Amino acid sequence: MAARRIPLVCGNFKLNGSRSMLEGIAKTLNGASLSSNVQVGVAPSAVHLDLMRQKLRSEVMVGAQDCWTKGSGAFTGETSADMLVDLGLEFSIVGHSERREKGETSAEIGEKAAYATSKGLMVIGCIGEKLEHRESGKTMSVITEQMQGYLAALKEEEMWSDMVLAYEPVWAIGTGKTASPEQAQEVHGELRDWLKTNISEKVAAETRILYGGSVTEKNCDELIKKEDIDGFLVGGASLKPEFVQICQAPGN
């Protein structure tokens, strides 16, 4: 792993949690031994963002699971990057497959990423293919189509400095199936080559690419050894005490 790419482990709580449950997670993370050389973050539901930022130690980042393309207006139910910044949050996830399944386009997701980075948030932009795409050899064609949304919106090279990519094979999310370290590295490596060809060598070298898709304490150590895997976007396992072990893996 290139030294300039600081490992990142982020927990996506999805639509889970109560005040008492999340206070318990915060207590576990606050008491954990976390490496200063690894960034750790959590993304609770929108209603729990402020609670987690108040309860968690400052070294652990708190961010949203999604954000809107604009700052304010008649957009019922949306959350703006401006609001996240106002809460003292550090990042937002965009483009998760569960939202793409609801109809979000790559173009809209790119707009969300561009607006959030313009407000100083780190953005974790998700990409990933379904099982039928992998089995038919279309993994990279699907991923590069999804990347076009980010490419069109993040028009200047410097806009990529706050971007993190998360490769999440849809067939591995919440299924218990995980891409092998070799499968994950193959996609991460090809994605880095795409960044080099379509943006710049600098962006390719510096952009962190996380792996997501049934990451657990049992497979994280092998995955993180791969050259182009810079950390993890963790789903269900981030709600368990074992999340600490996943956070520690990149620093071991």
pLDDT digits (tens), the chain, 252 positions: 344 799 999 999 999 999 999 999 999 999 999 999 999 999 999 999 999 999 999 999 999 999 999 999 999 999 999 999 999 999 999 999 999 999 999 999 999 999 999 999 999 999 999 989 998 999 999 999 999 999 999 999 999 999 999 999 998 877 777 789 999 999 999 999 999 999 999 999 999 999 998 899 999 999 999 999 999 999 999 999 999 999 999 998
Query: Is 168 one of the annotated active-site residues of the chain?
Result: yes
What's the topology of domain 8-30+38-251? TIM Barrel (3.20.20)
Active site residue 96: yes
**Active site residue: 98, 104, 111, 168, which one?**
168
Domain boundaries, given as residue ranges, for the chain:
8-30+38-251
Contacts of 231 (CB under 8 A, 6+ apart): 7, 8, 9, 10, 38, 39, 208, 210, 211, 224, 250
Catalytic residue among 96, 104, 108, 217: 96
Q: What is the tally of helices (H) and strands (E) in the chain?
A: 11, 8
8-state DSSP, 156: S
